[in-house]
Amino acid sequence: MAPVVHLDRIERTFPGTPPVHALRESNLTIEKNDYIAIVGPSGSGKSTLLHLLGLLDRPTGGTYWLDGVDTASLDDTARAGMRAERIGFVFQAFHLLGHRTAVENVMLAEIHRRGGSKQRRERAEAALRRVGLGHRIDAFPTTLSGGERQRVAVARALIGGPSLLLADEPTGNLDSKTSESILQLFDDLHAAGLTLAVITHDDDVSERAQRRIRIHDGVLTPLTELVDRGAR
């Protein structure tokens, strides 16, 4: 079975004088049900990698296979479709729409996705229950705590059953106690079979992952190898 993500000598260079090499000839493979953490200081290329993985940006070199599909062959519409179907995003700033209820924010993820809209609300409610927010379904984000907002964002990322959950500093705006609960949620999701890639500079976050990859000056370096990889 093809890995969820396979990066082969991927490169991303931003034009300018001099050109900025945000990512240099990097290789990365994320298998199904992996939980990896990508760590690195600011400006190391973390965000560039996230955008490449999330199909929000195109590499200037190398190849990116997502679920066995060479993403370079896809046009913008197909890439948007891949984002909708296969990738769930969780952002540091949550990015919830303030004037929509929690369940409406979750349903937003399915607008650009194929499939019936009839059970959309049911699926959104199920996703909210899955992240432990069954009691705040019709609450507005302004009335939710930071941790609850991030749970709504996670529910939004989960609703379509993505191949990969991409989290960008998911605990960056949360206090340590709330962070812990979000990380616990990630652990639970991972245990349920989800593939996660978390980008962070926080050691507490990265330690929860099975595998840590350090990024520095656009170069990826594995820190911890997956111990029991063969067993899975």
Partner 1 sequence: MLAEATAALTARPARTLLTALGTVLGVAALVATLGLAKTAGGQIVGRFDELEATRVEVSLDNGGFFGQQDNRPNPLPFDAEDRLTRLNGVAFAGTKTSIDLEGAFARSVPVVDPLGQTEFQVPMFSASPGLFDAVRGQLETGRWYDHGHNDRGDAVAILGPAAAERLNINRVDASPAIFVGEHTLAVVGIIRAVEREPDLLSAIIVPDGWARTTFGIVAPEEVHIDVEVGAAQLIGSQAAIALAPNDPDLLRVAVPPSPGQVRRDVEGDVNALFLVLGGISLLVGAIGIANVTLVSVLERTGEIGLRRALGATRRHIATQFMFESAVLGALAGLIGASLGVLVVVGVSANREWTPILDEWIPLAAPPAGAIVGLVAGLYPALKAASIEPISALRSG
The smaller minimum CB distance to partner 1, of residues 84 and 226, is found at 84
Binding residues with partner 1: total (CB under 8 A): 30
**Nearest approach, Cβ of 225 to partner 1 (angstroms)?**
31
Scanning 108-220, the segments in alpha helix (DSSP H) are 120-130, 146-158, 176-191, 203-206
Segment near partner 1 (CB under 8 A); pick from 80-88, 124-132, 184-192, 208-216: 80-88
136-155 burial, b at 16+ Cβ within 10 Å, e below that, comes to bbebbbeebeebbbbbbbbb
**Nearest approach, Cβ of 144 to partner 1 (angstroms)?**
17
**Nearest approach, Cβ of 232 to partner 1 (angstroms)?**
29
For the chain, what percentages of helix, strand and coil (3-state, to nearest 5) are there?
35, 25, 40
Footprint (CB under 8 A) of partner 1, residues 8-37? none
The smaller minimum CB distance to partner 1, of residues 111 and 231, is found at 111
CA separation for the pair 5, 14 (Å, rounded): 23
The smaller minimum CB distance to partner 1, of residues 93 and 191, is found at 93
Task: For residue 50, report the phi and psi dihedrals to the nearest 5 degrees.
Answer: -60, -45
Is residue 81 within the footprint of partner 1 (CB under 8 A)?
Answer: yes
**Nearest approach, Cβ of 201 to partner 1 (angstroms)?**
15
Among 20, 56, 219, 226, binds partner 1 (CB under 8 A): 56
CA separation for the pair 114, 122 (Å, rounded): 16
The smaller minimum CB distance to partner 1, of residues 83 and 208, is found at 83
How many other C-beta atoms are found inside a 10 Å radius of the C-beta of residue 84? 17
The smaller minimum CB distance to partner 1, of residues 7 and 106, is found at 106
Footprint (CB under 8 A) of partner 1, residues 118-137? none
Q: Which helix (H) or strand (E) holds 214?
A: strand 211-216
CA separation for the pair 5, 65 (Å, rounded): 6
DSSP character at residue 19: P
Among 31, 57, 180, 202, binds partner 1 (CB under 8 A): 57
Among 1, 111, 227, 231, binds partner 1 (CB under 8 A): 111
Listed in sequence order, the residues at least 6 apart from 107 whose beta carbon sits closer than 8 Å to its beta carbon are 120, 121, 124, 159
Give the number of residues written for the chain.
Answer: 232
**Nearest approach, Cβ of 199 to partner 1 (angstroms)?**
12
Contact positions vs partner 1 (CB under 8 A): 47, 51, 54, 56-57, 76-77, 80-85, 87, 89, 91, 93, 95, 97-100, 104, 108-109, 111-113, 156, 168
